[in-house]
Each structure stands twice: as structure tokens, then as C-alpha cells.
Amino acid sequence: MRFNDIKSSVRGFMSLKDVSSHEADYEAIYQVLNNDHRKNVRALGETLRKYVEHYKNEYARVEKLYDFDKSYGYDIVAGVDEVGRGPLAGPIVAAAVVLDNNSRDLILRINDSKKLTKEVREELSDIIKKEAISYSIALKTNREIDKEGIGFCNNEIFKMAVGELKVTPDIVLSDGYTIREFNLRNEAVIKGDTKSAAIACASIIAKVYRDNLMEEYSKKYTQYHFDKNVGYGTKEHIDAIICHGSCPIHRESFLKNILNK
């Protein structure tokens, strides 16, 4: 067989969604490649071996996240997380996600959204929205944050996001905080986006949604560089506030120490 045909076949195998269910095929392919007299074909075999090893490790890591959610013993487990509690500008956003915990087609690479690159977050956000049983996104604006307080808004968007799911969860796992005045079973999970599959997925789609929103705002309020800082208090952002004052999406209640200097 020609090298390019072999290379194409290996790429096809590596594109499979669930490599673990084709392990016998992998072993057969690897043995053929490894025993080939051509050095470049054996190198392909080594590439395939490393890929499968990486896949197995990643599958095992993510399986633990799904197992964590299943350990609560309920059929419909929702994860909810927020992004944007600390910035000086923009909304606070929450997402809620319900996954199919009985599927073997796990969503690999999910993690705390801050540990992923922008490109991976964007890709995973699309996958999560397609694969999830249900997901929803809720937000509170900077004006609502100024009026109601960040703690109240944080709690409310958790409730809003869960309330907009198309299925009613048996239990809601919330990242870091127990949801107050909430009529569903709820467990707070500290650093939940590194332990729970549903919370990790919620953190990803919430961050992608908010980051994209702040990028749009940056086109209108160019001097604040929201496309880079997404509203957080970087030196460049604070210097811009001191120079230009605040803009309509700033949280005035967060700026008192800056503007009173």
C-alpha cells in the first residue's frame, strides 16, 4: 500500500469519536505499521500509538468527571456555573447544562474554562450545545449589578439558568455556592469545574458567551480594550477609566476607588 493511503487510513482512525470501542482494530493496524520495512510507515505507527495512549488517558480523566455527577444517584443532573463576578465592566453570566451521563460518547477535553485556550473553548462550546440534553444561559447586566449587588445577581442567574432548562433536574450541582431560596435539590461543589462534567461544560459555554459579548462591546468602546481584558481590572483598563471615565457598560459600584483617586 502506498504511504499516502496508509497515512489517510491512520488519520481516519484518529478522527473516530470513540476510539476505545475500536481497540482491536487499533492493535491490528499498529502491528501492521510497526512491522513494515519502511521507516516512515513505522513512524506513523508510533504516532498512532501515542495518539491512542493520549486518548485513553483523556477518556479516563473525563470519565471521572461524569462519574462524579453519576455518584449523586440521580438521572437528571444539572451543572451551573458563572463567569464575570469580578470584572469592572459587562454582565455576570451563568450557564446550566444537563448531560447524558449514560452515554459512552463523552465530551473530551472539558475542564475549568480558564485552563483551556480560546480556540478549544469555542470548539467545545459548540460541541456541548449539540451534545447536551439541555443547556441555557442567563445574565444580569452591569446596571442590575449596581442596583441589586453582585451577590444577589450571582444567585439569581443561577436560578434563572436552571429555570430555563427544557428538563427539570433531579439535582443541581452549583460551582462554589449553594443557591439560596431555591426549590430544587442543590449541592455546592468547591472547584466544581474541575470535578463535575456538567459544571465544567457550564463554565465553558458561559465564558465563551460572555467573552464574545465583550468582544462586541470592544468595537463600540474601543479605548477600554474589552476584547483583551473582557472587563477585568487590568492596568491598561484602569488607566483608560482614569483617562476617559466610565462607559455605559461599566459597573459604577465597582469603580468608586478608581474614579475617586
Please tell me the number of Cα atoms within 13 Å of 14 on its side-chain side: 18
Any bridge partners for residue 139, and if so which? 93
Has 211 been labeled as part of a binding site?
A: no
Instruction: Please give the grid coordinates belonging to residue 130.
Output: 449539540
Q: How far apart are the first and last CA of the chain?
A: 73
Annotated binding-site residue? 239: no
175 appears as a binding residue in the annotation: yes
Which stretches of 132-190 are DSSP H helices? 142-148, 150-163
List of E strands, 181-227: 186-189
DSSP labels, 70-133 = HTT--SSEEEEEEE-SS-SBS-EEEEEEE--TT-S---TT---GGGS-HHHHHHHHHHHHHHSS
φ, ψ for residue 111, nearest 5 deg = -170, 180
Other beta carbons within 10 angstroms of residue 119's beta carbon come to 8
Residue 134, SS3 per DSSP: strand
Which positions make up the binding site? Answer: 81-82, 175
Which positions make up the binding site for a divalent metal cation? Answer: 81-82, 175
